[in-house]
Amino acid sequence: MPQKHSIKSYVLDGIYHVYNRGVEKRLIFLEDQDYRVFLNLLKEALIHPQHLQQMCQDDTLTNKRRRDRPPKNFSESIHLLAYCLMPNHFHFMVKQCDAHSLDKFIKTVCTRYSMYMNKKYKRVGTLFQGAYKAVLITEEPYFLHLSRYIHRNPIDLFASLENAYSSYAEYLGIRHTEWINTNSILAMFQPKKLPFLRNTTTYQSFVESTDPQSNWMDGIMLDDDENEGTAGYDIDRYRRQL
């Protein structure tokens, strides 16, 4: 039987929760540079092509000047609404503006990152545990609470959530990133926009609230065995296994 959410339903203008983790739940980010390389791959895939030409042409995989064709760009077909990178998995919330680009986008980023990891750590084989999972979001409350779930995912790893490897700093206005689209979610916090937000005045209070009504998604398991916790991972031991 196929894994839950491994068979995707791609639709025009669909909003998806996309996630995947390391094979055998191993780490996919071992140090700060790994996070930065992954984010740079996202940037190259999502930034407007005109601005991509203005970026430094150093190839993140080889550290050599790029003279061949640029990486695939999805700025017109994929909008990244929210993300977080965890030591052994990642979460994206994306809007697919056509009916077929999501699969190409995820495979492009993850393949390039796997090449980087295999080269840097002299490893072989797959980095991720099978195909990524993608859940089509069809209900407005779930759409909003999913962004909260994603931004709260690193809560046990950082004293302040805005310092996590996530898009939360963009939502707080601390950081401004062209290829992160915050408008759709932040627009919901206009006065009287949504009845269930009547006691919440800002996105920050919505995310960081301990109100039980705000926490209804925190206990949801995203897959049949989707325990993504990082407790018990020894990075030095993992490096020896590579």
User: pLDDT value at position 10?
Assistant: 85
What pLDDT score was predicted for residue 9?
77
Q: Spell out the domains of the chain, with CATH numbers in brackets.
A: 14-220 (3.30.70.1290)
Please name the helix (run of DSSP H) or strand (run of DSSP E) that holds residue 96, with its range, or none: strand 89-96
> Which tokens belong to 42?
């996202």
Q: State the alpha helices, DSSP H only, in the chain.
A: 32-46, 49-52, 101-120, 140-152, 168-171, 183-186, 203-208, 235-241
- pLDDT of amino acid 240: 42
Helix (H, G, I), strand (E, B) or coil at 15: strand
Residue 53, pLDDT score: 67
The whole-number pLDDT of residue 139 equals: 84
**Alpha helices (H) along 54-139:** 101-120
pLDDT of residue 136: 94
Q: Which segments in the chain show pLDDT lower than 50?
A: 1-2, 56, 58, 62, 65, 67, 216, 218-242
pTM above 0.85, yes or no: no
- Sequence-distant (6+) residues with CB within 8 A of 83 are 42, 90, 91, 92, 93, 150, 166, 167, 180
